[in-house]
């Protein structure tokens, strides 16, 4: 079994309040879950309105599948015009960990 995690550090565009931040982050979280079937949540920077941290996880018996899903999620996030991807950190955990 393999578990892959991916953490995005995002800079939000023209956002001036936490309410506006929610209106940007919630659709991203929902679309990642719907499109890629991953577990996803806003995991940090909740008190800063121009920054967001989004974490996601995927579990599979196939290492190639885990890597493919994480790579597709990262490419999808890079194409989002409403956010700037500052960093993306991938980790894969296997039975040996």
In a domain, 96, yes or no: no
Residue 97 included in any domain: no
Distances (CA, A) of 30 to 6, 61, 64: 16, 25, 24
In the chain, the number of structural domains is 1
User: Do 8 and 27 form a contact (C-beta atoms < 8 A)?
Assistant: no
Q: Would 55 be classed as within a structural domain? A: yes
Each residue of 1-19: pLDDT tens digit?
999 999 999 999 889 999 9
The verdict on pTM exceeding 0.85 is: yes
Q: Kindly report the CA angle at 34 between 74 and 83, in degrees rounded to 5?
A: 40
Split the chain (97 residues) into runs of 10 and give each run's mean pLDDT. Answer: 96 91 94 96 88 96 95 96 94 86
Residue 27 has what pLDDT? 96
Domain containing 78 — which CATH number?
Answer: 3.30.70.1120
Question: What residues make up the domain containing 48?
Answer: 2-91
CB 4 within 8 Å of CB 90? yes
């Amino acid at each position: 079994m393999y578990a892959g995690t991916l953490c995005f550090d995002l800079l939000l565009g023209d956002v001036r309040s936490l309410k506006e931040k929610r209106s940007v982050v919630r659709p991203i979280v929902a679309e990642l879950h719907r499109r890629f079937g991953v577990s996803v949540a806003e995991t940090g920077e909740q008190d800063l309105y121009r920054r967001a941290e989004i974490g996601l996880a995927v579990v599979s018996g196939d290492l190639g599948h885990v890597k493919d899903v994480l790579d597709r999620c990262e490419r999808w996030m890079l194409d989002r015009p409403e956010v700037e991807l500052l960093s993306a950190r991938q980790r894969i955990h296997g039975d040996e960990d």
